């Protein structure tokens, strides 16, 4: 029998009723527990819906201001920090990383460029040594280890998804240039001035608003072991060193840490607003964050290829811009191949389409098993574009 939660609440312009219908269908047909979706057109929120449960026990309804960890959907706001610095002439994407972070030149990385960090081409998808969850919470330890690590492949030649390391690599450059970690920089420059309900990590005072993440249904142990045995050392380093899931992300320690690639917390409305800066060619709600040229640069493709880490779980070749994935022929972010965005582990998504002046945020707490293009997300995107 299809599962039902509380009735869907919020606002949806009549033009976009197909999005509401798809959102409701996610609860009836696709196992949704608690979720929210928001759509912004031309800098105005036209869809802002939420429903379901904020906890596994179904004792707490999902509210308008419920926050949730969005995993790698956090990479968009983290990339935004770097693009703001570049737009101000403080960061050169074609400069060696070591120009800002001298220790990074170790182990043959003296020619790795800042653009290689943004496009997952730095060859540092994961540490070569075992890296614990506790060490992941230690910014200084993790960045020192990455600075000393030898690349897994020749930097700049291929993409290999930097699941956790992306945020430390881009984030340390942001820190070296600005003096602030990405979370503080984002708050000072973007989310504070624009009133966007999104943070990297989660302040303790906001813990009462946080939804409980629920891990996807586990395969039996033999299937899981077989799946991991087929992963190359590089993929294991990127995705399982350390192995992190819902259990860790629900803890106070995870929320207190700075993990810019994976522990952003926000509402769907906030995600739509942040990605709306890209969709608005640098402006959102009448406020300019980036120049139009800088906003365009975010989707500057760095070459399509079969990703060295995620290749087996993606449909053919993909292309990453300077911080976000291009929709391309796969249609991951709608029918415009030049639209772009980022998925989060388990299903969340941020989407930007400058041609349509549209952005979307989708967040949820019941994580699905898909690496990307979760069916719930894709149903919402299809409904959105059917209404445009």
Tell me the sheet residues that pair with 341.
325, 351
CB 335 within 8 A of CB 257: no
For strands 325-326 and 358-364, give the pairing. unpaired
Q: Which of 40, 72, 332, 348 is catalytic?
A: 72
How far apart, in whole angstroms, are the C-alpha atoms of residue 100 and residue 383?
44
| CB proximity list for 73: less than 8 A, separation 6 or greater | 264, 271, 342, 343, 344, 348, 349, 350, 361, 363
The SS3 call for residue 69 is strand
Tokens matching residue 200: 């990297």
Q: For residue 59, with 0-12 CB atoms within 10 Å meaning exposed, 13-18 middle and 19 or more buried, which class applies? A: exposed
Q: Is 386 annotated in the active site?
A: no
Among all chains, which residue has been given the structure tokens 């906890």? 55
The SS3 call for residue 211 is coil
Task: Output phi, psi for 290, to 5 deg.
Answer: -130, 155
Question: Beta-strand (E) ranges in 62-147?
Answer: 68-69
Tell me the sheet residues that pair with 298.
none
How far apart, in whole angstroms, are the C-alpha atoms of residue 210 and residue 65?
9
Where in the sequence numbering do the catalytic residues fall? Answer: 72
């Amino acid at each position: 029998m299809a599962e039902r939660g509380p009735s869907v609440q919020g606002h949806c312009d009549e033009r976009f009723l197909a999005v509401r219908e798809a959102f409701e269908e996610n609860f009836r047909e696709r196992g949704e527990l608690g979720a929210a979706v928001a759509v912004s057109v031309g800098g105005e929120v036209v869809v802002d819906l939420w429903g379901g449960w904020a906890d596994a026990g179904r004792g707490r309804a999902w509210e308008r201001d419920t926050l949730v960890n969005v995993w790698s959907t956090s990479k968009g706001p983290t990339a935004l920090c770097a693009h703001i610095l570049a737009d101000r002439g403080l960061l050169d994407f074609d400069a060696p990383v070591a120009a800002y972070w001298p220790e990074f030149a170790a182990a043959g990385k003296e020619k790795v460029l800042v653009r290689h960090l943004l496009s997952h081409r730095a060859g540092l998808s994961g540490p070569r040594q075992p890296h614990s969850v506790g060490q992941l919470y230690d910014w200084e330890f993790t960045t020192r280890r990455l600075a000393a690590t030898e690349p897994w492949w020749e930097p700049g030649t291929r993409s290999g998804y930097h699941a956790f390391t992306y945020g430390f690599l881009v984030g340390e450059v942001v820190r070296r240039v600005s003096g602030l970690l990405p979370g503080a920089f984002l708050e000072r420059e973007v989310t504070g001035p624009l009133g966007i309900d999104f943070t990297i990590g989660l302040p303790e005072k906001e813990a009462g608003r946080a939804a409980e993440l629920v891990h996807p249904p586990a395969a039996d142990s033999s299937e899981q072991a077989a799946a991991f045995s087929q992963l190359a050392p590089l993929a294991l380093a990127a995705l399982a060193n350390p192995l992190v899931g819902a259990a860790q992300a629900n803890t106070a320690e995870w929320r207190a840490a700075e993990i810019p690639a994976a522990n952003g917390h926000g509402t769907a409305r906030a995600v739509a607003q942040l990605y709306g800066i890209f969709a608005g060619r640098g402006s959102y709600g009448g406020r300019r964050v980036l120049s139009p040229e800088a906003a365009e640069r975010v989707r500057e493709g760095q070459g399509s290829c079969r990703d060295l880490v995620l290749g087996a779980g993606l449909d053919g070749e993909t292309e990453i811009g300077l911080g976000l994935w291009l929709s391309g022929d796969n249609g991951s972010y709608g029918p415009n191949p030049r639209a772009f965005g980022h998925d989060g582990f388990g299903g969340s998504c941020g989407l930007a389409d400058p041609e349509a002046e549209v952005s979307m945020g989708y967040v949820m707490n019941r994580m699905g098993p898909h690496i990307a293009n979760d069916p719930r997300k894709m149903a919402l995107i299809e409904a959105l574009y059917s209404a445009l």
